[in-house]
Amino acid sequence: MLDDEPREIESIQRAMAISGHECHGYANGKSLLRGLRAQRYDLLVLGWRPPDLEGIKMVRRLRERFGNRLPLLLTAGPEHRARLTTALLAGADDFMVKPLGSAELQARVHALLRRAYPTRFERELVYGPYHFSPLTGTIRLHGEPVRLKQREYELALLLFRNIGRLLPRAYLMLNVWGQELEAGSRSLDTHVSRLRARLDLRPGNGMILASVYGLGYRLEYIAGDDAESPYPTAKAAE
């Protein structure tokens, strides 16, 4: 989220938190560009005319850097309504006029995310006792919700979609963090350790998360008397 009004950033962050999304705020274009070098975001909300870089210029710069894969939602006061159509021609995906209604904002963000990442927004994915809800980014284990951060959820979903496959460390970093693995970084290992604990990945639940030294990780199905097989129902639920 880019806006020079702190109250606007806080309002949008609250609306996104209710929807299950993590939202980071930036007060100017330079800080946003620095943030984009350090983190990967699924969607950007850009306030019109931040103090150091006009909205249209920012849209064009982002399109040059990321192509069309990153959804852009532009917001502006009513005095700029007529010019917001120019933002669409410059590469923005949608725009809203302030003041922003929480329900409409949430609906537009969900629509843009569904369009950009269709496989994430299947109704439900079932892997034995693990139920993934891509729409809300949540997991239930034996019917009970599991508290995960966004990166942890994305890592878990990637592993479950590839049960039995060895996923190299570099592949996991690129697909979850959007960047190459830095030498000496323990971020991936820390997230894996948390997933093992929070998802209770053990034979009793039919799953173990194995580490292959120097290569990567593999989520393995373990057959057992009490374990539910993930294979017959590892698909979008009707």
CATH of the domain at 77: 3.40.50.2300
- Please report where in the chains the tokens 């580490």 appear, as a residue: 211
**Same domain for 108 and 34:** yes
**Is pLDDT at 73 greater than 70 in this prediction?**
yes
CATH of the domain at 152: 1.10.10.10
Cα–Cα distance between 46 and 36 in angstroms, integer? Answer: 13
Model pLDDT, residue 61: 86
Model pLDDT, residue 50: 58
CA distances 90 to 48, 59, 60, 63, 99, Å, are 13, 7, 6, 9, 23
Model pLDDT, residue 121: 66
Q: Mean pLDDT over residues 92-99, rounded?
A: 89
Confidence category of residue 200, pLDDT binned at 50, 70, 90: very high
**Same domain for 110 and 151:** no
Total number of domains constituting the chain: 2
Residue 75 lies in a domain: yes
Confidence category of residue 78, pLDDT binned at 50, 70, 90: confident
Model pLDDT, residue 4: 84
* Structural domain that includes position 89: 6-116
Q: CB of 141 within 8 A of CB of 206? A: no
**Same domain for 74 and 127:** no
Q: Mean pLDDT over residues 13-29, rounded?
A: 84
Cα 217 to its chain centre, rounded Å, is 21
**Same domain for 147 and 91:** no
DSSP 227: P
Q: Which residues of 183-194 are buried (b: 16+ CB within 10 A; e: fewer)?
A: eeeeebeebbeb
Q: Mean pLDDT over residues 202-209, rounded?
A: 92
**Is pLDDT at 228 greater than 70 in this prediction?**
no
Cα–Cα distance between 46 and 188 in angstroms, integer? Answer: 30
Cα 171 to its chain centre, rounded Å, is 17
Model pTM greater than 0.85? no
Confidence category of residue 219, pLDDT binned at 50, 70, 90: very high
**Is pLDDT at 183 greater than 60 in this prediction?**
no
